[in-house]
Structure 1
Amino acid sequence: MTPDLEGAEVLVAVDEYGSIGAAARRLGITQPAASARLRAMEARWGLTLVERSARGSQLTDEGRAVAGWGRAAFERVAALQAGLEALRGRHDRDLRVAASLTVAGYLVPRWLGELRARYQAATPQLMVVNSAAVVDRVREGTADLGFIETPDLPSDLAVRKVGEDALAVVAHPSHAWARRDRPVDRDELAQEPLVLREPGSGTRRTFEAALGASPQVAMEASSTASLVGAVIAGIAPGVVAERAVIAAVQNGDVVPVATIVDARRPLSVVWSRERRLSRTAEALVAIATAGSATMRP
Structure 2
Amino acid sequence: MPGDIELDTLRLLTALVEAGSLTAAARMRGISQPAASARIREFEARWQLAVVRRSPRGATLTTDGHAVVAWAREVLQSVDSMRSALEAVSQKRSANLQIAASLTLAEHLVPRWLGELHALRPSTRPVLQVVNSESVADAVRSGAAEIGFVESMSLPAGLASRTVGRDHLVIVVARSHPWARRTAPLDETELLAARWVLREPGSGTRSTFEAALGHEPQVALEATSTTALLGAAVAGVGPAVVSALSTRTELESRSLVSVPHSLDLRRPLTGVWRADQRLSEPARDLLAIAMQ
The answer to whether TM tops 0.5 is yes
Distance 1:190 1:23 in 2: 83
Aligned to 1:84: 86
Aligned to 1:294: none
1:251 aligns with 2:230: no
2:241 alignment partner AA:
V
1:150 alignment partner AA:
S
1:156 CA displacement: 2.3
1:122 aligns with 2:124: yes
**Preserved contact between residue 185 and residue 261 of structure 1 (Cα < 8 Å):** no
Distance 2:58 2:152 in 1: 75
Matched residue SS, 1:52: strand
1:277 CA displacement: 3.0
**For residues 69-90 of structure 1, what are the alpha-carbon distances to aligned partners after superposition, in whole Å with 9 as ceiling and x for unaligned?**
2222221211121111111111
Aligned to 1:215: 217
**For residues 21-60 of structure 1, what are the alpha-carbon distances to aligned partners after superposition, in whole Å with 9 as ceiling and x for unaligned?**
1112211222222222222222333322222222222211
Aligned to 2:56: 54
Distance 2:190 2:222 in 1: 19
Aligned to 1:22: 24
1:185 alignment partner AA:
D
Query: What are the equivalent positions in structure 2 for 1:92-103 lying under 5 Å apart?
Result: 92-103=94-105
Aligned to 2:152: 150
1:216 alignment partner AA:
Q
1:274 CA displacement: 4.3
Aligned to 2:72: 70
The TM-score with structure 2 as length reference comes to: 0.92
Residues 200 and 47 of structure 1: CA distance in aligned 2, closer, same or farther (over 3 Å): closer
Equivalenced residues, count: 290
The TM-score with structure 1 as length reference comes to: 0.91
**Preserved contact between residue 190 and residue 216 of structure 1 (Cα < 8 Å):** yes
1:113 aligns with 2:119: no
**Preserved contact between residue 100 and residue 147 of structure 1 (Cα < 8 Å):** yes
Distance 2:168 2:185 in 1: 17
**Preserved contact between residue 98 and residue 134 of structure 1 (Cα < 8 Å):** yes
**Preserved contact between residue 197 and residue 220 of structure 1 (Cα < 8 Å):** yes
**For residues 240-264 of structure 1, what are the alpha-carbon distances to aligned partners after superposition, in whole Å with 9 as ceiling and x for unaligned?**
1001001111112111111111111
1:141 CA displacement: 2.9
User: Where does the alignment leave 5 or more consecutive residues of structure 2 unmatched?
Assistant: none
Match of 2:39 among 37, 45, 53: 37
What is the CA RMSD across the aligned residues, in angstroms?
A: 1.8
Matched residue SS, 1:43: helix
User: Where does the alignment leave 5 or more consecutive residues of structure 1 unmatched?
Assistant: 292-297
Aligned to 2:195: 193
1:187 alignment partner AA:
T
